[in-house]
Amino acid sequence: MLQSFNARTQEPFGAALAPTTAAELEAAIQAADHAFDTWQASDGNTRAKLLNALAEAIEYDREKLVELADAETGLGPVRLNGELDRTAFQLRRFATLAQNGGAFAFTDDPAVAGGPPVGHPHMMRVRVPLGPVAMFSASNFPFAFSVLGGDTASALAAGCSVVVKAHSGHLHTSQRVFEQAQHAIEKLGMPKGLLQMVQGAGNDVGVNLIKHPRIAAGAFTGSTRGGAALRDAARARVRPIPFYGELGSINPVVATPAALKVGGDALVQTLAGSITLGCGQFCTNPGLLVLQRSAESTEFVNHLVEALKTQKPHAMLTKAMRQSLDHGTAAQLAAGAKALLHNPVNDINPNPYLAEVDAKTFMAQHALQEEVFGPATLIVWTDSVDETLDVLHTVGGTLTVTLWGAEQESADTHRLVRGATAIAGRVLFAGVPTGVAVTAAQQHGGPWPSSTEPMTTSVGDAAVDRFLRPVCLQDMPAWLYKRQGQPC
Amino acid sequence: MLQSFNARTQEPFGAALAPTTAAELEAAIQAADHAFDTWQASDGNTRAKLLNALAEAIEYDREKLVELADAETGLGPVRLNGELDRTAFQLRRFATLAQNGGAFAFTDDPAVAGGPPVGHPHMMRVRVPLGPVAMFSASNFPFAFSVLGGDTASALAAGCSVVVKAHSGHLHTSQRVFEQAQHAIEKLGMPKGLLQMVQGAGNDVGVNLIKHPRIAAGAFTGSTRGGAALRDAARARVRPIPFYGELGSINPVVATPAALKVGGDALVQTLAGSITLGCGQFCTNPGLLVLQRSAESTEFVNHLVEALKTQKPHAMLTKAMRQSLDHGTAAQLAAGAKALLHNPVNDINPNPYLAEVDAKTFMAQHALQEEVFGPATLIVWTDSVDETLDVLHTVGGTLTVTLWGAEQESADTHRLVRGATAIAGRVLFAGVPTGVAVTAAQQHGGPWPSSTEPMTTSVGDAAVDRFLRPVCLQDMPAWLYKRQGQPC
């Protein structure tokens, strides 16, 4: 049986739930496959109707959902209400995208008379939905990256059905969201197979889900280790499928001494807030602070230590994550980092952690380059812009890089921008990396290990592209042409 | 040493060439990496200047290039002149694309005031070139999928430098194209590292090339086996890179009895020509003919046998490929196919081969589902549209499906179009799959095993997308904004 826990007290929460059996998994996938049959040919208005109804459904049940999520995750009602708003916003945004034709865009290439290479027949490039998508929920976003999160919303907008694997960290929240979704789908008279949900551990459910021949793609938010295992299973299939994993990331913040001086205490407070926000349990948590040795940098760090001391992070999502945090900080210290703020405590609520290391040690020690999930940041001291660039190159892949102090064009800022874009999906020139806006221009996904598919994004409008494969229709008949690139 | 051969006589052709040494490979990659440094920041006009000069260079040397390629591949001057035209056309098309801003497209998302989820900072989604690309030439297109082929042209247009691995089947042609390209680059005063070339077998060169830390992507056209090995090496790197492999494909042609009747002898001749064109050595060669049992189908097949008898395919590209053809047809016959036309001959010029099998045997025997490279086609007899769809589903992944007889909208044509789009990158409703137009709407790449990355294309304008990774710039400074999404 699967038992949920109260994040704050670690007491069992709610009834134990039965893991999905092999027969139930098969039935869920068959239902999703059957629903895909008609959904892949649905028009934008139909897709919008569903997505809008799902947004309404969670808003309508807000009170109970936030209560459940708060108990299971300890993230607090303010954050969770905000996350629910974001989730509804995202569902509606993909509704609008479907309605505006975003999933049906096509390139029409009229016939050109004559032989090759100039002449060619009539060709139209359309995009066809992949098929049922296996969606793996995240621990740290019980709404926005879970049952009705961005992966589900973008897959439904693309014309795919979805089988969600619920996260063990918030089973009752997932169950309630799923029930609300099922009611909404039923009320619209749409097939329940459009959204299915399964739960259970490891091979029994997750791996068998991604390996199932009827599953056409995977979407995942979570650890590098878990994501890599599922990615490998997706690739090892007789018919490999795309697997969109959004994994670990250390999100370097690079700051010039001048920028730190100008930013002053406001910047200190902003960064301290970002490090401890949600107990540091964000993919975009700033885990690395790359500073050039200088009086300004030293002063900033001293103030940062003071600011972090006053922060009291809330409980972590699970006991296992709480233990991982301790292991991660211990590994950093063992690898040569020096603690600036380190008050270990045997409690689900951790204390913020800050450590420092010189660039050469950072670059030599793999253990220092790994994500530590939680309110923990490592300062890397560099002696030059060259060394800062070497540090970024060593990081290799990250969701974000933040550059403070690139306001003026110069040879150095050119190089820093290039060094940052070379390894990140998003580069910020102000503010902090936490907070991932759901917009047309968002890119949430960078080179490995931050993503398994860095050419794609898991947040923002382009997330829908992950579930649409281009197909060229050559010399298509008139009846098909009239459908204007809609799949058959 | 590497020895080239005359394709028709199998005699050694030209001087033996030295394989690239480890030191030379390193130097080539370093030069490409160095050239990338400036090229990634070049503007569209500069890229167009290079691409246009490369087109001119091969046109200027046409006579000698066609002579060399004809000796090494046996493809004949008509085809090779046409292929050279196509290659120059393709280079110019990517020049125009670069000039028109295709590689610099961006999404600008102005700031929206207020808190999340509606409010957000200014965000711009740009695309950054990946880095030096390892490009693996094809045997069957000594110009269009080789040194200055579509992969090279699209990578250069994207702002990447290229290290070409020459194909052993046309070493002297490759060498000559490379020299012409080097002259053109030199005349423009651009860095020679923009295009480098290496040659040699297996691990010594190809695998070491794709594994090199400075290489940022791979592009490949060739066998499923060779492509899979390089793809695995690209994925096993500490920092995995995208590998765009265009591999084997059996390209089913599905025809209704009515369409065969209407098409008559013209259709018979067209198909026979497509099966034997270029000695069947095309990725899009129609290797499978899916027919519903009927008098019309039987008559069509009888005529097809007669038409193929009159075809005299030219020499195959290499002795190894000629042997593979015999192995492939023998494997089909051993797996239950019945020969309709099979005159084995111990000669580099093969005879066309046609065989038939019922759908159930086809679906049960994996050997029947594999590509046989050369002028060989297997007819699969089905009893119903349902069975035809099952056959397509069994094929699983292919560059093309051709549907003859889908002119009228009906439940069956809907199902056939869907069955075809589900497994193919391109669906044709008239004509034959050989001949891949270089257009905006082209999609050359389908589900595995026809491509390692079916969401991308190796031919047509969208080929450039393979080498550009999206990055979101948040709150970018004015000086960077003025560059309008161009990388730094």
> How many Å apart are CA B132 and CA B193, to the nearest integer?
10
**Could you please report the per-residue DSSP string of B158-203?**
HT--EEEE--GGGHHHHHHHHHHHHHHHHHTT--GGGEEEE---HI
Contacts of B132 in chain A (CB under 8 A): none
Contacts of B120 in chain A (CB under 8 A): 437, 439
CB B450 within 8 A of CB B472: no
> How many Å apart are CA B418 and CA A316, to the nearest integer?
47
A128 touches chain B (CB under 8 A): yes
Residues 402-421 of chain A whose Cβ lies under 8 A from any Cβ of chain B: 406-409, 413-415, 417-418, 421
A392 touches chain B (CB under 8 A): no
Beta bridge partner(s), residue B112: B120
Element containing residue B270 per DSSP (H, E): helix B257-276
Q: In the A/B pair of chains, how many CB contacts fall below 8 A? A: 203
The one-character DSSP state at A112 is B
Q: Residue B484: its pLDDT value, please? A: 66
> How many Å apart are CA B94 and CA B160, to the nearest integer?
13
> Is 80 exceeded by the pLDDT of residue A126?
yes
Tokens 């409008």 belong to residue: A461
Nearest CB to A474: which of B82, B428, B477?
A: B428
The one-character DSSP state at B120 is B
- Tell me the nearest-neighbour CA distance from B331 into chain A, angstroms: 21
Say how many residues make up chain A: 488
Nearest CB to B123: which of A239, A437, A473?
A: A437
Q: Residue A453: its pLDDT value, please? A: 98
Q: CA dist A55 to A58, A168, A181, A331, Å?
A: 6, 23, 9, 43
Residue B426's CB is within 10 A of a number of other CB atoms, namely 32
CB B351 within 8 A of CB B374: no
Name the residue type at position A331.
A
Q: Which two tokens stand for residue B80?
A: 């090779």
Name the residue type at position A112.
V
Contact state of B477 with A121 under an 8 Å Cβ cutoff: no
A262 touches chain B (CB under 8 A): no
- Tell me the nearest-neighbour CA distance from B58 into chain A, angstroms: 16
The counts of H helices and E strands in chain B are 16, 17
Q: Residue B483: its pLDDT value, please? A: 75
Note the Cα A227 to chain centre separation in Å. 12
Q: Best residue in A472, A479, A481 to probe B by mutation, most B CBs within 10 Å?
A: A472
Contacts of B217 in chain A (CB under 8 A): none
Per-residue pLDDT of chain B (488 residues; tens, 9 = 90+): 999 999 999 999 999 999 999 999 999 999 999 999 999 999 999 999 999 999 999 999 999 999 999 999 999 999 999 999 999 999 999 999 999 999 999 999 999 999 999 999 999 999 999 999 999 999 999 999 999 999 999 999 999 999 999 999 999 999 999 999 999 999 999 999 999 999 998 778 999 999 999 999 999 999 999 999 999 999 999 999 999 999 989 999 999 999 999 999 999 999 999 999 999 999 999 999 999 999 999 999 999 999 999 999 999 999 999 999 999 999 999 999 999 999 999 999 999 999 999 999 999 999 999 999 999 999 999 999 999 999 999 999 999 999 999 999 999 999 999 999 999 999 999 999 999 999 999 999 999 999 999 999 999 999 999 999 999 999 999 999 887 655 55
> How many Å apart are CA A449 and CA A454, to the nearest integer?
9
For the structural domain made of A2-247+451-481, what CATH number should be given? 3.40.605.10
**Could you please report the per-residue DSSP string of A327-395?**
HHHHHHHHTT-EEEE----SSSSPPPEEEEEEHHHHHH-GGGGS---SSEEEEEEESSHHHHHHHHHHH
Phi-psi region of A447 (alpha: psi -120 to 50; beta: other; left: phi over 0): beta
- Tell me the nearest-neighbour CA distance from A347 into chain B, angstroms: 32
Note the Cα A196 to chain centre separation in Å. 21
Q: Which residues of A are catalytic?
A: 246, 283
Note the Cα B247 to chain centre separation in Å. 7
Nearest CB to A123: which of B124, B413, B442?
A: B442
CATH topology of domain B252-428: Aldehyde Dehydrogenase; Chain A, domain 2 (3.40.309)
Name the residue type at position B319.
K
Beta bridge partner(s), residue B135: B164, B219
Element containing residue A134 per DSSP (H, E): strand A133-136
> How many Å apart are CA A373 and CA A370, to the nearest integer?
9
> How many Å apart are CA A308 and CA B255, to the nearest integer?
71
Contacts of A415 in chain B (CB under 8 A): 488
Domain ranges of chain B: 2-247+451-481, 252-428
B124 touches chain A (CB under 8 A): yes
Q: Is A164 helix (H, G, I), strand (E, B) or coil?
A: strand
Note the Cα B278 to chain centre separation in Å. 15
- Tell me the nearest-neighbour CA distance from A342 into chain B, angstroms: 32
- Tell me the nearest-neighbour CA distance from A171 into chain B, angstroms: 25
Q: CA dist A359 to A300, A383, A480, B137, B450, Å?
A: 18, 8, 60, 41, 45
Beta bridge partner(s), residue A283: none
Element containing residue B424 per DSSP (H, E): strand B424-428
Q: Which residue of B has its CA nearest to A482?
A: B409
> How many Å apart are CA A203 and CA A200, to the nearest integer?
9
Q: Which of B235, B382, B375, B231 is nearest to B312 (CA)?
A: B375
Answer yes or no: B56 catalytic.
Answer: no
Contacts of B121 in chain A (CB under 8 A): 430-431, 437
> How many Å apart are CA A143 and CA A58, to the nearest integer?
9
Residues 198-237 of chain A whose Cβ lies under 8 A from any Cβ of chain B: 235
> Which ipTM value was assigned to this complex?
0.97
Helices A62-73 and A77-99, axial angle in degrees (round to 10): 120
Contacts of A474 in chain B (CB under 8 A): 426-431
Nearest CB to A239: which of B240, B447, B469?
A: B447
Q: Residue A404: its pLDDT value, please? A: 98
Q: Which two tokens stand for residue A95?
A: 């509704």
> How many Å apart are CA B240 and CA B405, to the nearest integer?
44
A422 touches chain B (CB under 8 A): yes
B298 touches chain A (CB under 8 A): no
Edge to edge, the sheet with strand A338-341 lists A338-341, A353-358, A376-382, A288-292, A252-255, A398-404, A424-428, B468-474, B123-129, B107-109
Contact state of A408 with B439 under an 8 Å Cβ cutoff: no
Q: Residue A121: its pLDDT value, please? A: 97
Contact state of A473 with B239 under an 8 Å Cβ cutoff: no
Q: What are phi and psi of B113, to 5 degrees?
A: -70, 155
